[in-house]
Amino acid sequence: MIAYIIKRLLSAIPVLLGISVIVFIIMALIPGDPATAILGSFATPENVEKLNRDLGLDKPMIQRYFIWLGNMLQGDFGRSFSLNKDVLDEISERFGATLVLAGVSFVLCSILGVVAGALSASRQFGITDKLITLSVLIGISIPSFFLGMMMILFFSVQLRWFPVSGMWPIYGARDLSALLSHLFLPAVALSVVATGVIARLSRSAMLEVLRQDFIRTARAKGLSEARVIWRHALKAAMVSVIPVLGVQAGFVLSGAVYIEMVFQWPGVGRMLVEAILKRDILLVQGGVVFVAACYVMFNIVVDIIQSLLDPRIKT
Amino acid sequence: MALLKFSRRAIIAAGAAIAFATSAIPVTAQTPDDVLVVGQIAEPKSMDPATVTAVNDFRILMNIYDGLVRYKDGTLEVEPSLATSWNISDDGTVYTFKLRNGVKFHDGSALNADAVKFNFDRMLDDGHPYHDTGPFPLSFFFSAITDVSVIDDMTVKFTLNAPYAPFLSNLAYPTGLIVSPTAVKKHGKDFGRNPSGTGAFKFGDWRSNEAVVVEANADHWEGAPNLNAVVFRPITDANTRTAEMLAGGIDLMVEVPPLALSQFQGDGYTVHEQAGPHVWFLILNAKEGPFADVRVRQAANYAINKEAIVNDVLEGTAAVAAGPTPPAFAWAYNESLEPYPYDPDKARELLAAAGADGAELTFYVTEGGSGMLDPVAMGTAIQADLQAVGLKVKIETYEWNAFLGVVNPGLEGKADMAEMAWMTNDPDTLPFLALRTEAWPDKGGFNSGYYSNPKVDELLEAARASTDQNERARLYQEMQTIVQEDAPWVFVANWKQNAVTSDKVGSFSLQPSFFLLLDGVTKN
């Protein structure tokens, strides 16, 4: 088991290095440099050159990459010029907000998705199944940013139940209830699509398991239907559902970009969008590497859990 | 049956949880009276005025700092602020300012001639001990300064390398706002997060991506402001900003999207509009291709239905532009100019005379960008108008930064026309940087269409060297007439900045400078 974990961790290194190279090259190749972005209409060649020099962008590309990589390995992600702030400070601050949003959405969509899928499978072709399948189809089809805007219009502007945007109230206590009221709409909007995908896959995984012999045996032993479904079948079905959860975690994390823009959630997705528009190279590069590292680690954890559930995977 | 029981229990539990969650939620927290919440369009970069370039940041900074001079309410003409009076030498190269007595920075230190000298040396002198608190991207506004010297405690003298008429209005621009040297020395590179000025509001708190809070400065030299505090909230998404305004989360919203304006027509809101020093135009490649012929350039001006663009595409948030200088520069604007009328027949005639019927044109369009309004929709409308008079227009679309990367180096060999917009603080800036022969891209200017008229060059040089406003006005007005006739650009629109306030907000008005001045504003 330990050997397996070490092997998985080692395999992450080339992935992350590759990502660092790719994001560096993309940022170097996209048209428009930071100095032009800062100066806007005032970007004369002379002003651009001077500002690039001040920003340390006049060195050759290869050299810049290794300086960046070297600094990063020592924990120095550089300074964001668009925010005038240490990149790592900004990322860790923003990542916390994304983690709260994406984490809650992920838990929400995992539980709702698996339960809906299992429920639907256990009553295949019944009215529950049809209702769930229909809502799942609708959920998968609605773009999350559109859903988010509609939710803002209905629940925040019309009913005034929830605040429109942000993570904390401008005035008043920063307690759990304040956080929950700000979190509710974005978390729901973010989890809808993933819930649908997970529900679909759980349903088919369950259907497959329910046809197997050991289920018939369990029923023959006289176990209650609830016990058969929720203990025996679900555990077996989870083996094929969990890797999907890992992938969905990635989707939730990337979907957070839209949701954070719509709800002005101070997370890392919104940070990246704004940083790209401002050509804040170090912030984009640092942010992407950081998010990628988290995603890779998350998948390793998922793999390990899966290998615990299904001993055949450990090789 | 057992299964159903389970699911019913689950549903009840879930329902209870939601009910609990909603009941625990406080109604949207009310902001206290006398605290104004402003919906901004982005997170500010820094509170150090010398280091920022965005109007969004200026909106906050103009309330924390004062400059030596400022724009008179509702105009773009300068009046005294931290300087009570000034003298200009006859040759226009020496400016001597008398400073206001008894003014203190928010950190308690005194405003004096040394402080003013520190501000400009920090920006302009590479060897200054605090030059590393930059970079200072707009320091070229003051590149004419060769020396700042302290005459006595309250008198400071600027020496310029040549007469430079826009100097005073550049001092009124945010780049010229005066910061506390004591605070810069104390905080170094972090001054931008710990600002200290002399303005009507002092810095309170900056919660990243949530809010910048400024509080009333009871000791302001003009008296304390009416509001106790102002909260600037960055809300990047325009639809979300609109929703916050409708839900009461903000009291004042800037840059309302044209389509959202109708939401605020009823009671409870006031919509403010103010034309600013902005012009939206098409750069025409006068060096090669069909637009090398002045008749074709004029034809393009006749062919494009500008009324339809400002009314239908921009929903009335802009006015038709007549020439290169926006009417907001009232003193320098040539009132006798009439915009090119929409006259497709005249356009066809001119095209036929020039033999440019059916010419093929490449048109650079941007997806967005500072002051560009709705560039894709406008570009499409323009394309349709030009097609209607027999020109074949091919659009190439670029993201804003990439767009500047292809347009600023010049259109030669690439395109015949490109969208562009400028917002400036002096009538000198745009024509000087974008219409002179000396401003062709290879000479470091923005004349990307290679327009050249020696008479215009002469007028602009003379206007820059003169320190007499009436003389300058006459020169600019003559320049506008010639440029309109020469048609190096298609003059399309002058943007009207807008804002919405809730009915709690009083005494608010937008400024032609596009700054947000809140010291007189009330809220109850």
pLDDT at position A147, please? 92
DSSP string computed for B107-148? TSPBP-HHHHHHHHHHHH-TTSTTGGG---TTGGGGTTEEEE
* CB count in 10 Å sphere of residue B206: 21
Higher-confidence residue of B302 and B28: namely B302
CB contact under 8 A, A36 and B135: no
Q: Touching check for B269 and chain A: CB below 8 Å? A: no
B306-324 pLDDT, tens digit each: 999 999 999 889 999 999 9
Question: Given this model, what pLDDT does residue B81 score?
Answer: 96
Q: Which residues of B, range 164-193, sit inside 8 Å of A by Cβ?
A: 189, 192-193
Cis peptide, bond prior to residue A169, ω within 30 of zero: no
pLDDT confidence band for A291 (50 / 70 / 90): confident
Residue B135: which of A51, A167, A264 has the nearest Cβ? A51
Flag whether pLDDT at A278 surpasses 90.
Answer: no
Q: Best of B1, B8, B25, B38 to disrupt the A interface by mutation (most A CBs within 10 Å)?
A: B25
pLDDT tens digit string along A230-252?
A: 888 888 888 888 888 878 888 88
Contact B247 A83 (CB under 8 A): no
Q: How far is B139 from chain A (nearest CA, A)?
A: 10
| Inter-chain touch B444–A43, beta carbons under 8 Å | no
- Asked if B204 has any chain A CB less than 8 Å from its own CB, the reply is no
Q: Do A84 and B234 make contact, defined as CB atoms within 8 angstroms?
A: no
Q: What's the confidence (pLDDT) of residue A233? A: 84
Give the residue, A217 or A36, on which the prediction is more confident. A217
pLDDT at B11 (0 to 100): 52
8 Å CB contact of A149 and B239: yes
pLDDT given at position A128: 86
The contacts of residue A150 (CB under 8 Å, 6+ apart) are none
Which distant-in-sequence residues (6+ apart) come within 8 Å of A194 by Cβ? A105, A106, A109, A113, A248, A251, A252, A255
Average pLDDT, chain B: 90
Chain B residues with beta carbon closer than 8 angstroms to that of A230: 6
Give per-residue pLDDT as tens, B153-165: 999 999 999 999 8
Are the CB atoms for B192 and B47 separated by under 8 Å? yes
Instruction: Tell whether A122 lies on the interface with B, counting CB pairs under 8 A.
Output: yes
B500 forms beta bridges with B253, B271
Average pLDDT over residues B228-237: 92
Q: Cβ(A9)–Cβ(A274) under 8 Å?
A: no
What's chain A's average pLDDT? 86
Spatial CA neighbour of A21 closest among A292, A298, A277: A292
- In Å, how far is A104's CA from the nearest CA of chain B? 14
Q: Do B240 and A165 touch (CB under 8 A)?
A: yes
Question: Is residue A299 predicted with pLDDT exceeding 60?
Answer: yes
pLDDT of residue A77: 87
Residues A222-247, buried b or exposed e (16+ Cβ, 10 A)? eeeebebbbebbbebbbebbbbbbbe
B8 token code pair: 């019913």
Tell me if B157 sits within 8 A of B148, measured CB to CB: yes
Residue B6: which pLDDT band, with cuts at 50, 70 and 90?
A: very low
| Residue range B84-109: mean pLDDT, rounded | 94
Chain B contact for A41 (CB, 8 A cutoff):
yes
Close Cβ partners of B92 (under 8 Å, ≥ 6 residues apart) = B160, B163, B164, B165, B465, B466, B467
**Is pLDDT at B208 greater than 90 in this prediction?**
no
**Facing residue for A43 by CB, picked from B7, B246, B408:** B408
What is the average per-residue pLDDT within B434-442?
92
Question: CB of B212 within 8 A of CB of B227?
Answer: no
Can you give the pLDDT at residue B477?
A: 96
The token pair that represents B54 in the structure block: 């965005």
CB A156 within 8 Å of CB A185: yes
* Of residues A217, A220, A221, the one with CA closest to residue A236: A217
- The reply to whether residue A156 touches residue B243, judged by beta carbons under 8 angstroms, is yes
With beta carbons less than 8 A apart as the criterion, state whether A10 and A287 touch. Answer: no
Q: Is a pLDDT exceeding 50 seen at residue B27?
A: no
Instruction: Provide long-range contacts, Cβ within 8 A and 24+ apart, for A229-233.
Output: A229/A118, A229/A122, A229/B3, A230/A118, A230/B6, A233/A118, A233/A122, A233/A206, A233/A209
Beta carbons within 8 Å of A22's beta carbon, 6+ residues apart: none
What tokens appear for B463 in the block? Answer: 């206007």
Percentage of residues in chain B having pLDDT higher than 90: 70
Residue A7 has pLDDT above 80, yes or no: yes
| Dihedral over Cα of A128, A134, A135, A140: its sign | positive
Which chain A residues are within 8 Å of B33, Cβ to Cβ? none
pLDDT band at B17 (very low <50, low <70, confident <90, very high): low
Average pLDDT over residues B87-93: 92
Report the candidate in A188, A191, A71 with the shortest Cα–Cα distance to residue A140: A191
Q: Per mean pLDDT, which range of A92-96, B102-106, B127-131 is the poorest?
A: A92-96
- Asked if A263 lies within 8 A of B240 by C-beta distance, the reply is yes
Find the range with the poorest average confidence among B13-22, B312-321, B366-375, B502-511.
B13-22
Give me the interface pTM, i.e. the ipTM. 0.78
Half-sphere exposure of B224 (CA within 13 A, CB side): 10
Confidence band (pLDDT; 50, 70, 90) for A139?
confident
CA distance B488 to B485: 9
CB B285 within 8 A of CB B417: yes
Q: What per-residue confidence (pLDDT) applies to A35?
A: 80
d(CA A272, CA A252): 16
pLDDT of res. B400 = 82
Residues on chain B touching A38 (C-beta within 8 angstroms): 53, 137
- For residue B227, is pLDDT > 90? yes
Q: Which two tokens stand for residue B102?
A: 């008894």
d(C-alpha A234, C-alpha A110), whole Å: 13
**Cβ pair B288, B67 in contact under 8 A:** no
A&B contacts, CB < 8 Å: 182
Residue B309: its pLDDT value, please?
A: 95
Domains delineated in chain A? 2-87 (no CATH), 92-309 (1.10.3720.10)
Span of A220-234, B92-106, B317-331, B492-506 with lowest mean pLDDT: A220-234
Window 257-276 of A, Cβ < 8 Å to B: 261-264, 266, 270-271, 274
* Contact map slice: B 72-131 vs A, CB within 8 A: none
Q: In the predicted model, is pLDDT for residue B391 greater than 90?
A: yes
Contact A170 B370 (CB under 8 A): no
Look up residue A215 and give its two tokens: 């289920």
> What part of B 29-48 touches A (C-beta under 8 Å)?
29-32, 35, 37, 42-43, 45-46, 48
A145 touching B (Cβ < 8 Å): no
Position A72 scores a pLDDT of 87
Predicted confidence band at A314 (pLDDT cuts at 50, 70, 90)? low
> Is A32 within 8 Å of B211 when comparing Cβ atoms?
no
Average of pLDDT values for B12-33?
A: 54
> Which helix (H) or strand (E) is A79 found in, with range?
strand A79-80
Residue of A36, A42, A223, A274 to mutate, interface with B, max B Cβ within 10 Å: A42
Mean pLDDT of A219-240: 83
Q: Read off the tokens for B311.
A: 């009314």
DSSP structure string for B242-282: HHHHHHTS-SEEES--GGGGGGGSSTTEEEEEEE-SEEEEE
For the segment B465-479, what is each residue's pLDDT rounded down to a tens digit? 998 889 999 999 999
| Mean pLDDT along residues B343-360 | 94
State which of B10-14, B274-278, B306-310 shows the largest mean pLDDT: B306-310
Residue of A30, A93, A164 with shortest CB distance to B247: A164
Note the helical H segments in chain A: 2-29, 34-39, 45-54, 61-73, 87-122, 127-141, 144-151, 176-210, 213-220, 225-227, 234-263, 268-277, 281-309
- Backbone torsions φ then ψ of B419, nearest 5 degrees: -75, 150
Neighbouring CB atoms inside 10 A of B106's CB total 22
Other beta carbons less than 10 A from residue B377's beta carbon: 14
Which residues of A, range 229-258, sit inside 8 Å of B by Cβ?
229-230
Write the DSSP string, B283-323.
Answer: EE--SSSGGGSHHHHHHHHHHS-HHHIIIIISTTSEEE--S
Q: Do A90 and B10 touch (CB under 8 A)?
A: no
Distance from C-alpha of A279 to C-alpha of A245, rounded to nearest angstrom: 33
User: Could you tell me the pLDDT band of residue B15, with boundaries at 50, 70 and 90?
Assistant: low
Q: How far apart are CA B394 and CA B387, in angstroms?
A: 10
Q: At A20, is the pLDDT very low, low, confident or very high (cuts 50, 70, 90)? A: very high
Looking at the predicted structure, is the pLDDT value of residue B364 above 90?
A: yes
Would you give the DSSP letter of residue A59? S
**With pLDDT > 70 as the criterion, what percentage of chain B qualifies?**
94
- pLDDT of residue A217 exceeding 80, the answer is yes
Tell me, yes or no, if B228 comes closer than 8 A to chain A by beta carbon: no
Burial A89-115 (b: 16+ CB within 10 A, else e): ebbebbbebbbbbbebbbebbbebbbb
Q: Which residues contact B130 (CB under 8 A, 6 or more apart)?
A: B118, B122, B184, B185, B188
Tell me: the pLDDT tens digits for A33-45? 778 777 766 777 7
Given a cut of 60, is residue B64 above it in pLDDT? yes
Q: Is the Cβ pair B370, A41 closer than 8 Å? A: yes
> What is the CA angle B343-B348-B351, rounded to 5?
125
Q: Which of B6, B140, B243 sits opposite A47 (nearest CB)?
A: B140
* Burial class of B420 by CB neighbour count within 10 A (0 to 12, 13 to 18, 19+): buried
- pLDDT value of position A57: 79
Answer whether residue B3 shows pLDDT above 60: no
Task: Choose between A33 and A126: higher pLDDT.
Answer: A126
Q: Measure the CA–CA gap between B123 and B132, rounded to whole angstroms.
A: 9
SS3 string, B461-524, reads HHHHHCCCHHHHHHHHHHHHHHHHHHCCEEEEEEEEEEEEEECCEECCCCCCCCCCCCCCCEEC
